[in-house]
Copies of this chain bind each other. A is one copy, B any other.
Amino acid sequence: MKTVAKAKTRTVDRPTYHVGHLDTLLLDAARAMLEEVGPAKLSLRAVSARIGVSPAAAYHHFDSRASLLGHLAAQGFRELAVAVEERAATAAPGSLLREAALAYFRFACRNPCLYQLMFGPEFIGDESAVGLADARTRSFTLVQAVIAKDSGLEPGSGGARSAALAGWVLGHGLASLTIQGRLERPEGLTDDQLVDRALQGFAILFGSSGVSGPA
Tell me if A122 is interfacial: C-beta within 8 Å of chain B.
Answer: yes
- How close is A198's CB to chain B, nearest CB, in angstroms? 5
Known: A169-B174, A169-B177, A177-B169. A121 touches B38 (CB 8 A): yes
Which of A13-21, A56-64, A199-207 interfaces with chain B? A199-207
**Contacts of A51-109 to chain B: CB distance below 8 A:** 97
Q: How many residues of A contact B (CB 8 A)?
A: 52
For A211, what are the chain B residues with a Cβ–Cβ distance below 8 Å? 205-207
Please state the number of chain copies in the assembly. Answer: 2
Contacts of A170 in B (CB 8 A): 169-170, 173, 202, 205
- B147, B161, B204: the one contacting A151 at CB < 8 Å is B204
Tell me the nearest residue of chain B to A173, going by C-beta: B173
A97 to chain B, nearest CB (A): 6
- In the complex, chain B residues whose CB is within 8 Å of the CB of A165: 183, 197-198, 201
Q: Is the CB of B162 within 8 A of A169?
A: no
Please state if A120 and B201 are interface contacts (CB–CB under 8 Å). Answer: no
Cβ distance A162 to chain B, nearest Cβ, rounded Å: 4
CB-CB nearest in chain B for A38: B121
Further contacts, 13 of them, CB under 8 A, given A161-B201, A207-B207: A121-B180, A151-B204, A151-B205, A159-B204, A162-B204, A164-B201, A165-B198, A166-B202, A169-B169, A169-B198, A205-B211, A206-B212, A207-B208
